């Protein structure tokens, strides 16, 4: 089974973004997670295109961009131009799911769709065959450093069952409150990619922490 760690740059030191990105670049993490927040979809503002630039320059790894913004269809093309390999938008953030999916594909990136903790997996039933990834939020989006919501494990299992039933191959990613102490059960529930911010950048040895999560 595939196991991917996607460290969230939201928890990096923005004064040393190049250093922190290179540290991830030489780690066992295969992806780099980039959290974009607009202060409307979530009650926090993070960063946008200019901050993606130094990150893209400092690593060849897969850039996994998580858009927590309203009307994502307006901006997805620019995120792909800025170097995104995966662009994930929120189911709750747009009235034009198909338009958003098509805009990401046409721009040349892989498509992810995300649901908040209160949104059931069932809403995705007829969308799953159009995406490359589904991101289950295991905290309320907006901030790093929150605790994993235990009910997320059942959502991962139900999504994995839907994938099996429909004979699909999209990746299941999980984001929020992940650490070496719960990574094992989250992988076991059916996820392939785990986002981790504070657990990686708050560790004394971030690269060793990533290996611990992969081996959890
Ligand atoms: C929260 C973000 C997460 C966040 C995860 O809205 O989507 O990616 O950085 O942080 P931790 O791992 O600290 O929960
Ligand atoms: Zn995220």
Q: What is the pLDDT of residues 151-193, one digit of tens each?
A: 999 999 999 999 999 999 999 999 999 999 999 999 999 999 9
How many domains is the chain partitioned into structurally? 1
- Give the CATH number for residue 77: 3.20.20.70
pLDDT single digits (tens) 62-109: 999 999 999 999 999 999 999 999 999 999 999 999 999 999 999 999
Task: List the domain range (segments joined by +) for residue 121.
Answer: 4-214
Residue 1 has pLDDT above 90, yes or no: no
Distance 158 CA to ligand 1 centre (A): 22
pTM: 0.98
- Our mutation pick for probing the ligand 1 site, out of 39, 139, 181, counting the most ligand atoms within 8 A of Cβ, is 139
The span from the CA of 83 to the CA of 21, in Å, is: 14
Per residue, what are the HEC states of 35-84? EEEECCCCCCECCCHHHHHHHHHHCCCEEEEEEECCCHHHCHHHHHHCCC
Question: What rounded mean pLDDT belongs to the chain?
Answer: 98
The pLDDT value recorded for residue 91 is 98
- Our mutation pick for probing the ligand 1 site, out of 7, 10, 32, counting the most ligand atoms within 8 A of Cβ, is 10
Active site residues: 35, 175
Question: What is the DSSP annotation of 12-29?
Answer: S-GGGHHHHHHHHHTSS-
Residues within a 6 A CB radius of ligand 1: 8, 10-11, 33, 35, 66, 139, 141-146, 175-178, 195-199
The atom of ligand 1 lying closest to the CA of 37 is: 6
Considering every ligand atom shown, identify the ligand nearest to the alpha carbon of residue 177 and give its number. 1
If phi > 0 it is left, if psi is from -120 to 50 it is alpha, else beta; for residue 101 that is alpha
């Amino acid at each position: 089974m595939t196991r991917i760690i996607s460290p969230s740059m939201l928890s990096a030191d923005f004064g040393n973004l190049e250093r922190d990105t290179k540290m991830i670049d030489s780690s066992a993490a295969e992806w780099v997670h980039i959290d974009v927040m607009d202060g409307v979809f979530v009650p926090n503002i993070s960063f946008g295109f200019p901050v993606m630039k130094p990150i893209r320059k400092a690593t060849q790894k897969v850039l996994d961009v998580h858009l927590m913004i309203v009307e994502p269809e307006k901006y997805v093309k620019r995120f792909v131009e800025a170097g995104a390999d995966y662009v994930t938008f929120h189911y709750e953030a747009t009235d034009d799911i198909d338009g958003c999916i098509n805009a990401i594909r046409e721009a040349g990136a892989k498509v992810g769709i995300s649901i908040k903790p209160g949104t059931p997996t069932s809403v995705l039933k007829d969308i799953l065959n159009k995406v490359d990834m589904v991101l289950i939020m295991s905290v309320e989006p907006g901030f790093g450093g929150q605790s994993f919501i235990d009910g997320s494990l059942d959502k991962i299992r139900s999504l994995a069952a839907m994938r099996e039933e429909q004979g699909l191959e999209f990746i299941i990613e999980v984001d929020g409150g992940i650490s070496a102490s719960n990574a094992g059960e989250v992988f076991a529930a059916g996820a392939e990619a785990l986002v981790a911010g504070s657990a990686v950048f708050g560790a004394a040895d971030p690269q060793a922490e990533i290996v611990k999560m992969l081996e959890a």
